[in-house]
Amino acid sequence: MSATLSIQANHGFAAAQAAAAALAAKPAPMPARFLLNTAPPAAPAMRFAADEEIYTEGDAASAFYRLERGVVRICKFLSDGRRQIDAFYTAGDIFGFEAGATYEYCAEAVTDCTLIAYRRNRLETMVANDNAMGLKLFSYAMQCLQRSRAHALLLGRGSATHKLAAFLRELFAASPGEAVIDLPMSRLDIADYLGLTIETVSRTLSQFERDGIIALTTSRRITLKNRAALLRLAT
């Protein structure tokens, strides 16, 4: 699913940018979590209950996190009280990178979660002394930026049908070969991620079921019955 991660472009990042043009001629870099094998964690594993806040907008961005178990949402609360969810993260994902000194978004546990925190200054030191690591991290940031742009485009141009179909397509793509998924997030979370109301999300899911595209076993369990039809709606 889509993400908004910014990496500070200093020290080793300048060298990473200069080498980025060579990416096309090389095998795809290993995911950023590979880099953390050499970065010592800041503390033992941290556990958060569902809906518990991990960090809030304005907190000092002194650490970033690897999600070991569960689902996390990254969100911002607007001046009118509305909430916009920017991304969902699942086990193995990394989040909490910021360009500035403070977090621009809030991070909250969607389900019970286990995280490992890493000190940002240690990674910056490692990147400053290892151009290859800087290149991998820069490439990861560009992938996240691409996903973020795709999410912004979906919010700005897609109909409710298109938005929800694209969201379900991503969920099923994350579990290849699976025809049944259990949604970890609520319909309100989905609505705030897609820029819809919860009523529109429920109504559109019911329409998908009437059209024979999905079956709603429960409010959270979805069975995919017509993958081709879902893909057509999502494109």
Query: Of the residues 153, 169, 192, which one is the last residue of a structural domain?
Result: 153
Count of domains for the chain = 2
Q: Is the pTM of this model over 0.85?
A: no
Per-residue pLDDT for 183 more than 80?
yes
Which of 117, 93, 109 lies closest to 184, judged by CA? 109
Give the residue numbers spanning the domain of 129: 12-153
Query: For the segment 100-150, what is each residue's pLDDT rounded down to a tens digit?
Result: 899 999 999 999 999 999 888 887 787 788 787 778 778 777 877 888 888
Is 119 found in the same domain as 20? yes
Give the C-alpha separation, 162 to 140, whole Å: 27
Q: Are residues 144 and 184 in the same domain?
A: no
Does residue 201 carry a pLDDT above 80?
yes
Residue 146 and residue 175 in one domain: no
Q: What is the pLDDT of residues 67-102, one digit of tens each?
A: 999 999 999 999 888 999 999 999 988 899 888 899
